[in-house]
């Protein structure tokens, strides 16, 4: 299993599937469709019926091998990697972590250090897959893809293992929030599913942020600075004032657990015009709405001070906390806990400080909690994943299939 996991994962991360929010097409980048085509052929070799549409949604079905009436179980992972860092020319390698700094790139002086990332302490003695420091790794979520594929290959090689219909989906553009937008739940065919899109060993999640984006545009008036008195309106200064009006303790770097935040994700501008891009996150719906209202209040306040239409804001909801939709199906969590315990994995139930396709899919009628892949430090050059944790993820997937077969 270990060699199979490594081989599949390495081959998948070599395909550049970085999604692109600026593109209106689906998938937003051609590499995602390329990887979907590769996976389609691999699924068919494992005996699955497949369909791949022109938007890059790949569905596979492994037919039941029993007469028992069983729930149709699904597993999902996403094809794309985050646009936060390049996913082109990913160069993964395996290191055994012995407690010392891992030199990712000697030439550029890029080091993965326990000083900066204390979570490394959990992996002493384990083999880790790391980057070369110039790209992200892509474990989010190509590790999930590899783990699902290895589990399916195990079923293919051991056809005496009883199972109901197993449905898999590999979907585009999750990292830019569009994954479920063209997902056909009825066509997928599963009754319930799990996204394999979590982080460290044992993660089990059925709560996630309520999410929105906020784009702020500020108009200025550029005048020669030598004659600017009472005439210049510097949009950059107004932008910094807008940011200063927000609660400085409600930032990602100051929050954890169930605490929400408003995150300034991008800031581009000059005297004439400045644009700010925010994301708004909170688990509690009332607090989430309060954060959005605060953004609108600040907009009105600055418009009264500097003139109407100086500040324009556009807020768009992205996804909701799936807890409400999972709670009627808490057996899914009970089964996942049991599957982990069967694999000698301690379940770690905690909220997702982010989102998965499962959040939106749960509201579309497909209850879909999230289980771990084994990766850490997603979306950047310091990303890594434990091979042992990947093996355990495969075990958990197979254990879930076994549990569902005995309902």
Instruction: Please report which residue ranges of 165-214 form alpha helices under DSSP H.
Output: 185-188
Catalytic residue among 16, 80, 140, 395: 80
Following DSSP, what letter does each residue of 153-172 receive, concatenated?
Answer: HHHHH-TTS----EEEEEES
Q: What are the strands, taking DSSP E only, across 323-374?
A: 348-349, 370-371
174 is catalytic: yes
Q: Check: CB of residue 35 under 8 Å from CB of residue 12.
A: yes
Helices 139-157 and 387-405: crossing angle in degrees, nearest 10, is: 50
80 is catalytic: yes
Q: CA 264 to CA 311: how far, in whole Å? A: 16
Helices 387-405 and 331-342: crossing angle in degrees, nearest 10, is: 120
CA-nearest of 284, 249, 278, 250 to 266 is: 278
Catalytic residue among 173, 174, 376, 391: 174
CA-nearest of 384, 382, 374, 390 to 3 is: 390
Q: Check: CB of residue 242 under 8 Å from CB of residue 218.
A: yes
Q: CA 280 to CA 2: how far, in whole Å? A: 40
Catalytic residue numbers?
Answer: 80, 174
């Amino acid at each position: 299993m270990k060699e199979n996991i490594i081989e599949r994962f390495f081959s998948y991360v070599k395909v550049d599937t970085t999604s692109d929010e600026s593109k209106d097409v689906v998938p937003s980048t051609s590499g995602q469709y390329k990887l979907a085509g590769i996976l389609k052929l691999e699924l068919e070799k494992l005996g699955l019926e497949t369909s791949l549409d022109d938007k890059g949604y790949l569905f596979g079905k492994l037919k039941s091998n029993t007469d028992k009436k069983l729930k149709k179980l699904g597993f999902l992972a996403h094809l794309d990697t985050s646009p936060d860092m390049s996913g082109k020319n990913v160069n993964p390698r395996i290191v055994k972590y012995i407690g010392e700094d891992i030199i990712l790139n000697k030439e550029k002086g890029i080091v993965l250090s326990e000083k900066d990332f204390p979570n490394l302490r959990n992996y002493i003695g384990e083999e880790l897959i790391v980057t070369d420091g110039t790209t992200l790794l892509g474990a989010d979520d190509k590790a999930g893809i590899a783990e699902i594929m290895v589990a399916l290959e195990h079923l293919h090689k051991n056809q005496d293992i009883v199972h109901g219909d197993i449905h898999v989906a590999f979907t585009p553009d999750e990292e830019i929030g569009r994954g479920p937008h063209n997902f056909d739940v009825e066509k997928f065919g599963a009754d319930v599913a799990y996204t394999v899109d979590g982080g460290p060993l044992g993660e089990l999640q059925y709560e996630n942020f309520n999410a929105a984006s906020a784009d702020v545009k500020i108009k200025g008036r550029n005048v020669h600075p030598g004659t600017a008195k009472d005439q210049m309106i510097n949009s950059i200064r107004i932008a910094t004032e807008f940011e200063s009006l927000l609660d400085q303790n409600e930032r990602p770097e100051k929050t954890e657990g169930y605490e929400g935040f408003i995150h300034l994700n991008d800031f581009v501008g000059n005297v004439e015009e400045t644009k700010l891009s925010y994301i708004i996150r909170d688990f509690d719906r009332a607090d989430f709405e309060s954060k959005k209202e605060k953004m609108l209040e600040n907009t009105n306040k600055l418009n009264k001070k500097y003139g109407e239409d100086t500040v324009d804001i556009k807020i768009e909801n992205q996804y909701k906390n799936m807890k409400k939709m999972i709670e009627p199906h808490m057996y899914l969590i009970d089964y996942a806990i049991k599957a982990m315990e069967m694999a000698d994995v301690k379940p770690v139930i905690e909220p997702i400080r982010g989102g998965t396709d499962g959040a939106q899919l749960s509201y579309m009628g497909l209850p879909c909690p999230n289980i771990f892949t084994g990766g850490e430090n997603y979306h950047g050059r310091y990303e890594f994943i434990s091979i042992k944790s990947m093996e355990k993820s495969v075990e958990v997937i197979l254990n879930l299939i076994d549990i569902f077969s005995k309902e």
